[in-house]
Amino acid sequence: MNNVIKILLFCVVCVAYSCSTSKFYGDEKLGAGYFLCKDGRYKSIDYSPDKNYKGDGGYAVIKENVESLNYDKSHIIAQTSRYEKPSNEVKEFWIINKNIPINLNDFKNQDEFDKLLKVGLTGPLDSVKFYQQLKEQNIDLKFKNK
């Protein structure tokens, strides 16, 4: 009986832990093969050509740490941060046009492959250029609250 209680307690702890970390790990589908890959506090935007994606990885489109994003059926917008020095945080902005298809069969080497992944990507941009691009491209997206 004592072992049964220990096993049940262990199961309860595992479930509670998995629920508490669900915001930090896993993938969030963004449409058209793009997904937000969450690994702890680090997040990147990746692409998978697999239409039935099951969370088994993909190819990095935005490798920088994604802090904020939003998306609709046509676009993804993202804000990332990086540090040039420990005290100098640089914010960068990105736009992904999901309407531009990615054909990963059309490459001969790694450079061509990397270019294919970035075919619908605009960025990194500073905030002024980013908001100009949103206006020029008539993209009506705002960042979600964190």
Question: What is the bridge-based pairing of β-strands 34-39 and 42-47?
Answer: antiparallel
Tokens of 45: 């935007």
Residue-wise pLDDT for 110-121, tens only, equals 888 888 888 899
Residue 100 has pLDDT above 60, yes or no: yes
Q: In this structure, is the dihedral angle defined by the CA atoms of residues 107, 110, 114 and 117, taken in order, positive or negative?
A: positive
Question: Which tokens is 102 given?
Answer: 């990615």
Q: Residue 4's pLDDT is what? A: 53
Q: Number of structural domains, the chain?
A: 1
Q: Which of these, 24, 54, 60, 56, lies nearest to 42 by C-alpha position? A: 24
Q: Give domain status of residue 97, yes or no.
A: yes
pLDDT, residue 77, reads 98
Q: Is 36 helix (H, G, I), strand (E, B) or coil?
A: strand
Residue 35 lies in a domain: yes
Higher pLDDT, 109 or 2: 109
Structure confidence by residue, pLDDT tens digits, 22-66: 344 578 999 999 999 998 888 999 998 877 777 677 888 998 899
Q: Is residue 141 part of a domain?
A: no
On whether residue 53 sits in a domain, the answer given is yes
Residue 146 in any domain: the answer is no
Domain that includes residue 34, residue range: 22-136
| pLDDT score for 23 | 42
Query: Is the per-residue pLDDT at 139 higher than 80?
Result: yes
Residue 8 forms part of a structural domain:
no
